[in-house]
């Protein structure tokens, strides 16, 4: 179809008939999808709960244990404070849920902390949010996979020595599933996610029935308690440390607001309902598990998890229901990594689109997912798992501080948004990059809700940073500003490049007053003549250059050139040290130094293309070497003229 743009220039649009061929890649991650298939790759509430809530729901498998690890430092009597601490965590969960429920309706195009902070607080807060969340998503994969392996080792102790490599293999497996697309990965992981929820409710429910009937009892043959630190007296600081550990249960609450665009229409409504479902399930399971674990005197240990102790106590041993419970918990912890795989690529794509990460992260792959972000997440998480030997207790101190920092920035941004809304006239609209701000009748109430949520999560972030600083939280506190500075550096590079490439105030394109062509000649043959024919198309100012390391060979080339050179001059560069590239570069630089303004130099290099790829090593890649050396020289073009040899 032929069109004309607004300046009358001819424009032609065509639809390509090319289709990607079948390959092993297609078998591995699925056939490539067209851009038009994007609306059909969205998911509903049922699948959405499995995709985006598995991180938060899975944290019930280790949040109670991490609280007990700290309380045990003051003796077994201190474990009685676990349930009151869980109540405080659930209250905080309710505050965050109400805040984010408002966020998903205000930002139907995706309301991650990065976008909310960018539109309402500025660039620096948004980059802090991005750095905190990207780090947290990497830790989510490392912690959840490591925790799943801990559940597996609890049931099969013989696998303990292989836990690191099993964990890395699971990361790679989740990566492959996510490369197949959001819809397919959600459908794949939905069944095990709901199986976990059913088994967890059956276990907790059975536990309460046995508790009420008076025959629950305590843990039989509990593992030996592990003390990572010396015994401490019970203090407010110790309780706050346990609270900070328990708040890891709230990681993943923001995932739904990050992935609104993955939901079917109406997006905001479906995302909001899914968020409420997730919070109700998370809160009820956390309270139930903590209460029962406290009653049966569960012991925090890396040899056997609290969930394993609870399950075998409730079911009276390691029977089929125990194995179902451990299996479901192991799988949901793997699914938790899936939440990070759904959100990390989206956040990195948003950040890359704004020029703060490499642009390649903003490109969708063949399955309409951000493939590069998925692969990057898998690599970083695997490195962490290897470094920390798949230990949940060692990874937890690094965890959660980033997500609570992002909670704070997101809710503070929403509070400012409602303030802006309240200072607009009814019917007035203001278009921002992430959403449209309109006057809201109840803006004061919404501002207070988000403001209170920001204050609470900020207190928890500070608390986490202080109580966990010496245990490893200092690493995140140091890494976050480093990441922000890297973001700024990448953006500065893109801005400098855009400025140099901009056509604004450029004026008329400069015309080339002279075009010199230098033809590299290693011998006079058919490939040389093909390159000469191409050079004649460019210019009549052609100089053939041969580097001589053998006088007799140079003489034969001179004689052949007189016959086949069509009258163009030949320069023979004597090379007493038998060097080929350096004399050629010296000659080019001499010509370049004499170059006039608007004069262009093109270096034409004949290049053999052998029939069989394995014979390429038998030929020098002269053009490649010259290109690498001269690439940064302005006004010099290196052209390779291929000559196919049958």
The domain that holds 156 is classified in CATH as 1.20.1740.10
| Parallel, antiparallel or unpaired: strands 436-438 and 10-12 | unpaired
Helices vs. strands in the chain: H and E counts, helices first: 23, 9
Domain for residue 205, yes or no?
A: yes
Half-sphere exposure for 586 (CA within 13 Å, toward CB): 11
Assess whether 484 and 536 both reside in one domain. Answer: no
- H-only helix segments in 222-319: 236-246, 255-258, 267-295, 306-314
Assess whether 283 and 342 both reside in one domain. Answer: yes
Domain for residue 551, yes or no?
A: yes
412 within 8 A of 454, measured Cβ to Cβ = yes
Assess whether 391 and 539 both reside in one domain. Answer: no
Q: What secondary structure, in 3-state letters, does 535-596 show?
A: HHHHCCCEEEEEEECCHHHHHHHHHHHHHHCCCCEEEEEECCCCCCHHHHHHHHHHHHHCCC
E strand or H helix at 624: helix 622-630
CA–CA dist 599, 622 (Å, integer)? 24
Between helix 306-314 and helix 123-155 the angle, nearest 10°, is: 50
Give the number of other CB atoms < 10 A from CB of residue 173. Answer: 14
Assess whether 350 and 490 both reside in one domain. Answer: yes
The number of residues making up the chain comes to 646
CA nearest neighbour of 341 among 14, 632, 54: 54
The pLDDT of residue 205 is 94
The pLDDT of residue 163 is 85
Domain for residue 289, yes or no?
A: yes
Domain for residue 19, yes or no?
A: no
Domain for residue 477, yes or no?
A: yes
Q: Is 608 helix (H, G, I), strand (E, B) or coil?
A: strand
Domain for residue 312, yes or no?
A: yes
The pLDDT of residue 238 is 85
Assess whether 398 and 274 both reside in one domain. Answer: yes
The pLDDT of residue 528 is 87
**Low-confidence stretches of the chain (pLDDT beneath 70):** 1-9, 11-41, 110-111, 181-189, 225-230, 365-368, 396, 399, 503, 506-513, 610-624, 626, 632, 645-646
Assess whether 476 and 520 both reside in one domain. Answer: no
Assess whether 401 and 545 both reside in one domain. Answer: no
Q: How many domains does the chain have?
A: 2
Assess whether 211 and 122 both reside in one domain. Answer: yes
Q: Is the peptide bond between 238 and the residue preceding it cis, with omega within 30 degrees of 0?
A: no
Q: How far is CA 217 from CA 154, 200, 211, 295, 315, in A?
A: 21, 19, 8, 8, 11
The pLDDT of residue 40 is 47
Assess whether 486 and 544 both reside in one domain. Answer: no
Give me 370's structure tokens: 């951000």
For residue 400, what are the domain limits? 39-495
The pLDDT of residue 36 is 46
Assess whether 480 and 596 both reside in one domain. Answer: no
Domain for residue 604, yes or no?
A: yes
Q: Which of 495, 522, 538 is the last residue of a domain?
A: 495
Assess whether 457 and 526 both reside in one domain. Answer: no
Domain for residue 24, yes or no?
A: no
> Phi then psi for 185, rounded to 5 degrees?
-65, -35
The pLDDT of residue 344 is 87
Assess whether 318 and 419 both reside in one domain. Answer: yes
């Amino acid at each position: 179809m032929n069109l004309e743009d607004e300046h009358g220039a001819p424009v032609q649009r065509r639809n390509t008939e090319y289709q990607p061929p079948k390959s092993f890649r297609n078998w591995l991650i699925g056939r490539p999808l067209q851009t038009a298939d994007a609306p059909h790759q969205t998911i509903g509430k049922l699948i959405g709960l499995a995709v985006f809530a598995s991180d938060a729901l899975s944290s019930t498998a280790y949040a109670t244990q991490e609280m007990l690890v700290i309380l045990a430092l003051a003796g077994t009597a201190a474990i009685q404070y676990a349930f009151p601490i869980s109540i405080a965590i659930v209250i905080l969960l309710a505050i965050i849920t109400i805040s984010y429920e408002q966020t998903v309706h205000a930002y139907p195009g995706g309301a991650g902390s990065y976008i909310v902070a960018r539109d309402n607080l500025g660039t620096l807060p948004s980059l802090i949010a991005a750095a905190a969340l990207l780090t947290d998503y990497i830790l989510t994969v490392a912690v959840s996979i490591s925790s799943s392996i801990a559940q597996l080792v609890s049931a099969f102790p013989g696998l303990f020595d292989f836990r690191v490599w099993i964990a890395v293999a699971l990361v790679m497996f989740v990566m492959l599933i996510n490369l197949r697309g959001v819809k397919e990965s959600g459908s794949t992981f939905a069944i095990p996610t709901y199986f976990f929820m059913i088994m967890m409710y059956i276990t907790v429910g059975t536990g309460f029935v046995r508790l009420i009937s008076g025959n629950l009892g305590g843990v039989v043959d509990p593992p030996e308690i592990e003390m990572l630190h010396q015994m401490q007296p019970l203090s407010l600081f110790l309780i706050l440390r346990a609270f900070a550990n328990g708040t890891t249960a709230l990681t993943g609450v923001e995932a739904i607001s990050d992935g609104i665009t993955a939901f079917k229409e109406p997006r905001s409504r479906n995302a909001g309902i899914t968020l409420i479902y997730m919070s109700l399930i998370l809160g009820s399971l956390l309270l139930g598990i903590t209460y029962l674990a406290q009653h049966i005197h569960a012991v925090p240990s890396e040899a056997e998890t609290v969930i394993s102790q609870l399950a075998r106590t409730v079911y009276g041993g390691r029977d089929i229901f125990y194995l179902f419970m451990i299996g479901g918990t192991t799988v949901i912890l793997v699914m938790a990594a899936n939440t990070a795989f759904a959100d990390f690529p989206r956040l990195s794509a948003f950040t890359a689109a704004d020029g703060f990460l490499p642009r390649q992260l903003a490109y969708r792959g063949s399955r309409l997912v951000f493939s590069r972000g998925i692969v990057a997440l898998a690599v970083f998480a695997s490195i962490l798992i290897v470094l920390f030997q798949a230990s949940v207790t060692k990874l937890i101190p690094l965890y959660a501080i980033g997500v609570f920092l992002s909670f704070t920035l997101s809710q503070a941004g929403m509070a400012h948004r409602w303030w802006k809304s309240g200072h607009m006239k009814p019917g007035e609209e203001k278009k921002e990059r992430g959403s449209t701000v309109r006057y809201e009748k109840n803006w004061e109430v919404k501002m207070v809700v988000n403001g209170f949520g920001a204050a609470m999560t900020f207190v928890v972030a500070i608390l986490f940073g202080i109580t966990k600083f010496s245990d490893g939280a200092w690493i995140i506190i140091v890494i976050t500003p480093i990441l922000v500075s890297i973001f700024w550096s990448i953006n500065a590079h893109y801005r400098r490049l855009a400025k140099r490439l901009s056509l604004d105030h450029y004026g008329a394109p400069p015309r080339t007053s002279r075009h010199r062509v230098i033809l590299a000649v290693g011998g006079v043959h058919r490939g040389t003549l093909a390159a000469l024919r191409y050079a004649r198309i460019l210019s009549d100012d052609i100089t053939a250059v041969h580097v001589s390391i053998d006088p007799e060979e140079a003489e034969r080339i001179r004689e052949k050139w007189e016959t086949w050179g069509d009258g163009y001059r030949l320069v023979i560069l004597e090379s007493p040290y038998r060097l080929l590239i350096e004399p050629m570069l010296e000659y080019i630089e001499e010509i370049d130094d004499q170059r006039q303004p608007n004069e262009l130099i093109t270096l034409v290099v004949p290049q053999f293309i052998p029939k069989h790829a394995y014979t390429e090593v038998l030929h020098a890649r002269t053009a490649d070497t010259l290109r690498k050396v001269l690439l940064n020289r302005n006004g010099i073009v290196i052209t390779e003229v291929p000559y196919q040899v049958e």
